[in-house]
Structure 1
Amino acid sequence: MSTATASTTVEDVVQRRRGDLIELSHSIHAEPELAFDEHRSCAKTQALVAERGFEIMAAAGGLDTAFRAEYGSGSLVVGICAEYDALPGIGHACGHNIIAASAVGAALALADVADELNLTVVLLGTPAEEAGGGKALMLDAGLFDDIAATVMLHAGPLDIARARSLALSQVAVVYSGREAHAAVAPYLGLNAADAIAVSQVAIGLLRQQFAPGQMAHGIVTDGGQATNVIPARAEMEYTMRANDAWSLRELEGRMGDCFRAGAVATGCEFDVRATEPSYLELTPDQWLADTFRAEMVRMGRSPVAVEIEAALPLGSTDMGNVTQVMPGIHPIVGIDAGGASIHQPGFAAAAAGPSADKAVVEGAIMLARTVVALAETPAERDRVLRLKADRA
C-alpha cells in the first residue's frame, strides 16, 4: 500500500467514525473525573478500540485507570497517548476529552492499515496528567518498552506543531512546631505557620535570581486550626518549573534552602517530600513535528511560525518524560475558546463545542497520517527503530 493510499484510508476511517468520536468526547466532557479516579472515562476510551479487536490490558502497570490496547504485529510499534483526567472545580478546562477522542480516532484508523504498513498500533490510556504523572509511572512499569515512537495532541487556543514544555517537580513541605496559647503564653510555642511565612519571603526574594525559565508557585494547605493557638503544624505545596531537568535540579536546591530557612528562623522541624514523579521537559522530534505541521497546513490550519513557537509560554506535561526516551510529539490543535486559555472555565465550555469537535476529527486524521508517513518513509522508520534498539 502506498503512502497516498494509506493516508487516504486513515482519513476515510476517521470521517466514517466522526459521530462516534464526537460522542466519546462529549461523554467524557460531561462526566469529569480527577486524577487516578477516571474510571468511567477510562472505560469509555477503551470501548471503541475493544470493539475493533484491539487486545486490551486493563489496569496497566498496576494503575486502575490506565490501559494498553494493541492491534497488529508489525515491526514498527507506535504509541498513541490518550488522556482523560479533569481539573478540580472546572472540569475539562484542559480539553482532555479532545485528547482521548482524537487518540481513539487515530488508533481506529491506523488499525485498518496496520498489516499493509507492517505496523503495531498501541493506544495507551494514561491517567493523571494534571497531577500524578501517569505516563512517568507507566514508563517505569515498562509499558512503553516496545514502542519506537509515540504521538498525541493537546487542545489550546492556537495551532502549534512543535509544542514544548517545562520540566516540573512538586513537593509538600510540612513544618512541625509546638502549640501554646496565643495570648497567655505564646513564648512557649514554636509557630509552624511563621515558618511558612519566612520560607515564602525567602522564595519571594530568591525570584530575582531565578534563571530564565525557572518558576515557583505554591499554596498553603494547612496554616493552623484556631487563631488562639500557636499552630504546631503547617503545610504548603510548591511546584517548581525550569527549562530542563538540569535547571530544575538547581532550582530545587535553592528552594530547599528557603524551606530550611523557615525552620531555622522559627525553631521548627521540617520535612519535604515529592507529591508526584518529576515531569521532564517536552522535546518534540523534529521530523514528526514537521510532518504534523504539514498536515495542519493541508487541513487548512495556520500553525504559528517556528520562530514564534520558542517564545510562547509553557506549561508542563508528563509526555515530556516519554520524549526523553523516544521520538514523540505533543502538538497543540487550536479551538475557538472565545479568548479563554486552558485551565479557565471558558475553555471548559468550549471543549465540547463545534470547534472542539472539529479538533477531534481533524486531530485524529493528522495524527494517523503522521504515523503513516513515518511507517512509509524508510529513512525515518529505520531511524526510530535504531533508536529503539539502542534503548534495549
Structure 2
Amino acid sequence: MIPPPPYAPRSESHPHEPLRDPKLPSLEEIETVIASEAERWSSRLREVSIQIHGHPELAYNEVFAHKVLTTFLIKQGFDVTPHYILKTAFKASFTSPTVKSVPPSKDQSWWRKIAGKSKETELGGDKEKLPSVMFQAEYDALPGIGHACGHNLIAVSSLFAILALRHLMIMYKVSSIVPSSATRLIKELDFSSFALLLFQIPGTISVLGTPAEEGGGGKIPLLAAGAYEGVDACLMCHPGPGPSLDEENWGSIRPSLAIQTIHADYVGKAAHAAVAPWEGINALDAAMLAYSNISAFRQQMVPGDRVHGIVVDGGLAPNVIPDHASLKFFIRSPKGSSLSTLRSHIDACFEGAALATSTTLHLTAAPAHLDQRNNSSMSMAYKQIMSDCFKQDIVIVGSSDGGAGGGSFSTDFGNVTYAVPSMGSNYAIPTVAKGGNHTSPFTLAARSEAAHRATVKASVGLAVLGARVLMEKEFRKEVREDFEKGKLT
C-alpha cells in the first residue's frame, strides 16, 4: 500500500496554498484520495504494463500496445478516439460539464442542497473555457532491446493519472454527503454531472497516446495537427536508472537537449579504381572528408553541443570508385536557438567536402526535437507534492523555462513544451550498475515490481498536480505567466 501523506497543519505543510472554494477538497484530501485510487488500480495496470513490455513494437507500428491501451480506456468509460490523427495515436478524455446536465428525478431536494446555486461562468459554462489537463502516453520500443527506455511504464503512468483524477472529480465524499436512499439514483446518473454538483471541479482531463518517441518524433505531427490546442497543462513522467534500492526515491525535473537528424548524400561518378580512377568522382572521399571536417570542428563547439554520426553507405566494392555515399548525423544543443547555430556550422562541413571533391550534395533533415522547457510553477508544485506524499526529494535542474544545462537526453516532448505549459519529471527504477536507459539491463528493470511501484508514486504526483491546475484559477494564471516568460528566453 502507498502510505498516506504525513500531513502537517495547513499553515506548515502548504504555507503558500491559495484559498479555495470551501466546497472543494483541500490539497491534503486530494493527495489522500488520489493515492488511494491509484493503489486500487495498481494490480490491473501492472498487467497492462507487462503486456506492452512483452510485445515491443517500433515507431509507428505500435499496433498491439495501441489496442491494449485503447481497449482498456474504452472499457473504463472514457471518450476515446482510437486512431487520432496518426494510425497508432489515440486520445481519451473525460469532461465535467455544467450543473444544467443534471438528469430529472422525482426527488432532487438532497441533490439541490448539495449543488447549491449554479455558477455557470465559474464552472465552465458558455462564458468561460473549461480548464484542461493532458497526460502523455508513450509505448514504442527500441530495435533489438525492446522496452529499454521504459515506455511500458510511461504508458500506464498516464492511465494511473487520469483514472485517479477522474475518481476525485466524480466520487469525492460520496458516502458522507449522499444519503443511502439515493444509492440507486446515483448509479443511474451520468458520472460527470454527479461530479460537478458535488465538488464543482470542472474541466477536461485527457490522455494523448503518442507513438514513435524513439526517433520518429510522433508528437511533432500531432502538435502540427492541433492535438494540443486548448490544453492548460501537459504532464508526463519518465523512468531512469537507480543503481540500488536505496536510490529508488531519486527524482528530477530537468531540461533536455534539442536534437535534429541530418542525412547527407553525396553523388559522384563510378569508375574502375585501377584502370581509370581519374574518370571517377569519389563520393566516399566526400563522406570521409565531411566526417573529418566535423571531427575537427568539435574543438570549437561550445559546451553542451553534441554531434555524432555514422557512414550509412560507402560503396559496394573496393575496385569501384563509389558514385554514392551517405552519412547520418545527430546534432544536439541545449536550446532550440543554439541548435540552429550549430546546424549552420555542420552544414558548412558537409558543403565544404562536396566542394573539395566535386561531388553533388543532397542534405535532408528531420524536424528538430526542441529542448524540454519545464514550467517552473508546475515544477515547484510537483516537488512539494512528492515531498508531502512520499518524502521524495525532487531535484530541479537548470532554468525551468528555457535555460540551458542539465539534460543529456532528447525527446519530442520538448516541442510540446514550446506550445503549451508542460512539465516532464524523471524518476528512478532500481537497476544494476551501468544499466541505464537504452541498455538490456534496463529492459529487464522496466518490467520489475519495484519499477511499477515507483511509477505509481510518480503518477500520483502528476494527478495531484493536475487537480491543482483544474481547481485553482490563480495557479493556472501563474503557470501561464511562467510559460509566456519562457518564450522570451
State the TM-score bracket (shorter-chain normalisation).
Answer: over 0.9
Deviation at 1:18, TM superposition (A): 0.2
Q: Report the counterpart of residue 6 of structure 2 in structure 1.
A: none
Give the AA of the match of 1:44: V
User: Which of 1 and 2 has greater Rg?
Assistant: 2
Which string of whole-angstrom CA distances, capped at 9 and with x for unpartnered residues, describes residues 190-211 of structure 1? 1111111000100001111111
Alignment-mate amino acid for residue 453 of structure 2: K
Pair 345,188 (structure 1): closer, same or farther in 2 beyond 3 Å: same
Amino acid at match of 1:268: T
Q: CA deviation at 1:246?
A: 1.2
1:139-288, aligned counterparts within 5 Å?
Answer: 139-157=223-241, 159-274=250-365, 276-288=366-378
* Contact 1:80–1:124 under 8 Å retained in 2: yes
Q: 1:66 aligns with which of 89, 92, 98?
A: 89
* Structure 1 residues 186 and 202: alpha-carbon distance in aligned structure 2, compared to 1, 3 A threshold: same
For residues 238-285 of structure 1, what are the alpha-carbon distances to aligned partners after superposition, in whole Å with 9 as ceiling and x for unaligned? 1111111111001100000001122112111010111x3211111101
In structure 2, stretches of 5+ residues that fail to align are 1-23, 98-129, 170-194, 243-249
Note closer, same or farther for the CA distance 1:305–1:171 as it changes in structure 2 (3 Å cut): closer
The match for 1:379 is: 474
Q: CA offsets per residue over residues 91-131 of structure 1, 9 Å max, x none?
A: 11111111001111111111223344212111000011111
1:389 and 1:29, CA in 2 relative to 1: closer, same or farther beyond 3 A? same
Is the 2:370–2:414 Cα contact (8 Å) retained in structure 1?
A: yes
Amino acid at match of 2:379: A
Which amino acid in 2 is paired with 1:151?
Answer: L
Q: Take 1:14 and 1:270, find their aligned partners in 2: how far apart are those partners?
A: 55
Per the alignment, residue 424 of structure 2 pairs with 330
* Aligned-pair CA distance for 1:354: 2.3
User: What residue is the counterpart of 2:185 in the other structure?
Assistant: none
Q: Deviations over 1:284-331 (max 9, x none)?
A: 011211122223333143434657998644211111111112211111
Structure 2-normalised TM-score?
0.76
What are the Cα deviations for residues 128-178 of structure 1, in whole angstroms up to 9, with x where unaligned? 111121111111000100211100000002533322101111111111111
On the 8 A contact 2:262/2:363 being kept in 1, the answer is yes
Q: 1:248, 1:29 → 2: CA distance? A: 34
CA RMSD of aligned residues (A): 2.3
Query: What are structure 1's unaligned runs of at least 5 residues?
Result: none
Distance 1:376 1:73 in 2: 12
Q: Please say if 1:120 is aligned against 2:144.
A: no
Counterpart in the other structure of 1:107 = 162
- Identity value in percent: 35
Say which is worse superposed, 181-190 or 33-42, in terms of deviation.
Answer: 181-190
Q: 2:413 aligns with which of 319, 334, 341?
A: 319
Question: Could you state the TM-score of these two structures normalised by the residue count of structure 1?
Answer: 0.93
> Which of 460, 465, 483 pairs up with 1:370?
465
Whole-angstrom distance in 2 between the partners of 1:296 and 1:178: 62
Q: How many residues align?
A: 389
Q: Deviations over 1:41-100 (max 9, x none)?
A: 112122222112111112212x11111111114611111000011111111111111100
Structure 1 residue 40: deviation in Å? 0.8
1:186 deviates by 1.6
